[in-house]
Structure 1
Amino acid sequence: MKSKQIQMYTDMIRGAGLKATPQRIGVLKVLSEMTSHPGAEMLMEALENQGYIMSVGTIYNILETFSEKGLILKLKDNQEVMRFDANTKFHVHIYNENDNAICDYFDPELEILLSSYLKEKLPDQFSLNRMELSLYA
């Protein structure tokens, strides 16, 4: 019997119009549990530690598909390495230039402020689908 958590990931994947394969469910589950914004290799190691065995190519394909469908975000770190984030809700990414870490900063007030401001300022032909804000420290 599937746990509620696995069912949630299954529903998210299906909601994006994708088949919910065990590999896709595993990648989304493990990535969602990570706060470090891992690269593909770091994600592969975390997957293996939880019993999921798949090739780097499979992981890259899944990540690319998830990104295209809006299930995850792709980020480049300070060294231009692709990193991934399963949290697609508004939050700020703070890039630490000393250790190449990416931290999340959550501020609902900031989201409301920016959304309101941009709603008023964007030209009529544009609508705000998603906001991303990055800070470098």
Structure 2
Amino acid sequence: MFSPDKLIVIAFIAVILLGPTRLPVYAQKLARLVKTVRGMADNAKDRMRDEMGDDFDDVDWQKLDPRQYDPRRIIRDALLDEPAVPVTTKASASMAVSEGLTTRAAPPRIVPLAIGEAPPYDNEAT
């Protein structure tokens, strides 16, 4: 975000604008602000650790980074997802529904129209 060169330029401009009398006061305020923000971040982290318990250390925080969000990868993974195992008996079907497992229906087969054939049209659907 900020390179050392930019920070030096900003510090130089601050020295010129604030002057030698007000600069120590503002530097002290900046240090206090940084300590407060760091304390708030540590407090939030400790609170998360308390509320999540032992699971806090098991979370892969890199996977939750929004900068790694790639919609193309998510769509590709969803389209290439393996279909669920088909359910064969009534008992296994009710067990699959109770466990949240569902089967996907096969996509309808696309039949090309013959030359001169009109496509199907439903007056009530439009």
Higher relative contact order (CA 8 A, sep 6+): 1
Answer whether TM exceeds 0.5 for this pair: no
Q: TM-score range by the shorter chain?
A: under 0.3
- Whichever structure has more helix as a proportion of its residues is 2
- Whichever structure has more strand as a proportion of its residues is 1
- Scaled by the length of structure 2, the TM-score of the pair is 0.22
Q: Of the two, which has the highest radius of gyration?
A: 2
- Scaled by the length of structure 1, the TM-score of the pair is 0.21
